[in-house]
Structure 1
Amino acid sequence: MTQNWGMTIPFSDRSLARSQELIAELPGLGYTDAWSAEVNGADGFVPLALAAQWAPGIRLGSAIVPVSTRGPGLLAMSAATLADLAPERFVLGIGSSSPAIVERWNAGTFDKPYARTRDTLRFLKKALAGEKVSEAYETFEIKGFKLERAPKIPPKIVLAALRPRMLRLAAAEADGAITNWLSPEDVRQVRAEIGPDTELIARLFVCVSEDADRVRELARWMLASYLTVPVYAAFHDWLGRGEVLRPMHEAWAARDRQAALKAIPDEVVDALIVHGDAATCRARIQQYVDNGLDTPVLAPIPVGDVPIEQAVRELAPRA
């Protein structure tokens, strides 16, 4: 269907320790990529280090590790380690993350997210190229950092980007952009900001189930928890959903969670969550690709009687 076809690891229904066999299947099923995430489950690097051994040949990426929960030097060391384990197969995805993750969960400071991401990108490009870095950036200063073992080939770096300013930074200075929670139609608007030559990566949440009511019930909880985060609220304002999502935001601000869930229209759920039988889901994913998405990264969500391993196999390009 497309040159790249990714899967999120580890899987949502099992620990990393129980994921080895299914991760090892991915290349044979036609998946080209395995991408980690980092919220409050597995960290962004260990799953990729293991997948480098379990699924040789597959491209590995982080989508994403926050730039404010590690120091720049530690981030460079982690990236260099993965680049050494998987030469030319590791892609470092970084982003600003959110105040909840950075401040409430990691005791960091969520300040000037665009500048911090830009500065970290510029530092990492130098550090991963083996340079000794001594430089005062807008958001931090580095004095004499040099990797003890720089990768022979620096990894590509891609940025989490939801709105024009960050998307344009990704196109101008990084190797790609990662986005999230968008419809196939939204891809065109995002693509217009980065041009035709920048890789566009997106995580797509997929429910292989024909029980639309059950999917929508689960999906509303997912959507409310994400789209009320300021950066995602602003993203969907930019995409044109500000008015249709206003009742949800007002109910959420009033701490009426049930009213907030009910305020999310079916059409919004159906636009942002891929669901249906496996063939319908694959066709929907293809719409994203047709509209300009280079790398769909599937995140299967268990619903009903379809276990994750079945969904992974049925959503594969060789299914």
Structure 2
Amino acid sequence: MPEFGLVLPDEFSHVSLERTLAFARRADEAGLHSVWKQEASGSNGIATLAAITQCTTDIRIGTGVASVYSRTPTLLGMSAATLQRLSDGRALLGLGVSSPPLVERWHGLSFDRPLRRLREAIEIIRRTTAGGTVEYSGEVFDIGPYTMALETSADVPIFNAAIGDANRRLTGEYADGWLPAFVPQSLFSAAVADVRESAQAAGREPDDVVVAPWVPTAVDADPESAERRVRYLLAQEMAMGYNEQVNAHGFGDAPDRAHDLFREGNREEAVAAVSDRMVSELTVAGTESDVRDQFRRYFEAGADVIIAMPSMDASATEIEHLIDTLGAISNE
């Protein structure tokens, strides 16, 4: 049975916290695998997820993604343990290195040694969530000994939002799951193989790493309306810096043009700058039948769970329809 998660719309989509909780409840009722809360310069992701634990019963809840710069590894471990207790074992910890603009301009920190920091953070978080005495001496962090008083009843799965080759290898070595974003569908199977080969080289079972790509998604009886929504999301994500990642995959000047136009305030021109190839390679959009076929290609290429990203200009009704469609497909 295919499994789907949902990136929860939030204030960046002009959605209130109350509406965010309502979407989480609807996703729970629809039988989705998970909901994921982003965090940049708006609401606190972990606090929001704590609220979601109290209004849902079965759905997994994930940080999507928590930065290893904005919180210390011990605080991340404490937060994960808290969410695990509040949710009766449904917590997922999505981690990432964030980006220089957010780390340096918003948090006032130095974006130094990101992969080493991530590796050590994962090791410290695992020790923290296990409870008991924690002591760690690394190249970035020197911690303890101290006692973690809150213990979890089960390990909190750690998902790495890796982009580059070295970070994907780190995922295979240390993480329980991989949260890729904006990997072209035609290259996806090779990227999955890279993660699984890294896991095997580290002495792990390759299939133990859960592959959960984030995919911009829109469902509509009118395919053009659905396509317009994913084009808008791509334009906005290019403006947030993902153009640099997408540039590496040979999309010409379209990612940079969308980036520049969107940041200049020319939203419609930015949407128009997104190329047809970017839409076909990076998104899933169309009627329910269309998206079912497009999802199938991701699962055949190695995805275990698909995390659908609704457009930031989608209406509440459109998001509810997306949730219901994902639920219907997963329960077929």
Bin the TM-score by the shorter chain: 0.7 to 0.9
Q: 1:270 aligns with which of 267, 280, 286?
A: 280
Per the alignment, residue 214 of structure 2 pairs with 203
Report the TM-score, using the length of structure 1 for normalisation: 0.85
Q: Percent same amino acid at aligned positions? A: 27
Offset at residue 124 of structure 1 (A) = 0.8
- Report the CA distance shift for 1:215/1:31 in structure 2 as closer, same or farther (over 3 A): closer
Aligned mates of 1:81, 1:217 — CA distance in 2:
40
For structure 2, list consecutive stretches of 5 or more residues without a partner in the other structure. Answer: 197-205
Offset at residue 235 of structure 1 (A) = 3.8
Per the alignment, residue 202 of structure 2 pairs with none
Deviations 1:216-268 (A, max 9, x none): 555455434434666x4554355x32xx3346437857987868765542111
Mapping 1:59-208, distance limit 5 Å:
59-195=60-196, 196-197=206-207, 198-208=209-219
- Helix, strand or coil for the counterpart of 1:78? helix
- Report the CA distance shift for 1:30/1:304 in structure 2 as closer, same or farther (over 3 A): closer
The yes-or-no answer on 1:46 pairing with 2:53 is no
Per the alignment, residue 5 of structure 1 pairs with 4
- Helix, strand or coil for the counterpart of 1:5? strand
Per the alignment, residue 295 of structure 1 pairs with 305
After the TM superposition, which of the residue ranges 161-170 and 257-266 deviates more from structure 2?
257-266
Given residue 325 of structure 2, which amino acid in structure 1 is its aligned partner?
Answer: E
After the TM superposition, which of the residue ranges 69-78 and 220-229 deviates more from structure 2?
220-229
Alpha-carbon contact 2:258-2:274 (below 8 Å) kept: no
- Helix, strand or coil for the counterpart of 1:194? helix
Report the TM-score, using the length of structure 2 for normalisation: 0.82
- Report the CA distance shift for 1:192/1:303 in structure 2 as closer, same or farther (over 3 A): same
Deviations 1:121-160 (A, max 9, x none): 1111111112433333222322334322122323111111
Aligned mates of 1:251, 1:22 — CA distance in 2:
29
Given residue 271 of structure 1, which amino acid in structure 2 is its aligned partner?
Answer: E
Given residue 73 of structure 2, which amino acid in structure 1 is its aligned partner?
Answer: P
Offset at residue 43 of structure 1 (A) = 2.3
Aligned mates of 2:59, 2:227 — CA distance in 1:
33
Alpha-carbon contact 1:159-1:177 (below 8 Å) kept: yes
Given residue 201 of structure 1, which amino acid in structure 2 is its aligned partner?
Answer: A
Given residue 318 of structure 2, which amino acid in structure 1 is its aligned partner?
Answer: P
Aligned mates of 2:58, 2:259 — CA distance in 1:
45
Structure that is richer in helix per residue: 2
- Helix, strand or coil for the counterpart of 1:132? strand
Given residue 290 of structure 2, which amino acid in structure 1 is its aligned partner?
Answer: T
Offset at residue 65 of structure 1 (A) = 0.4
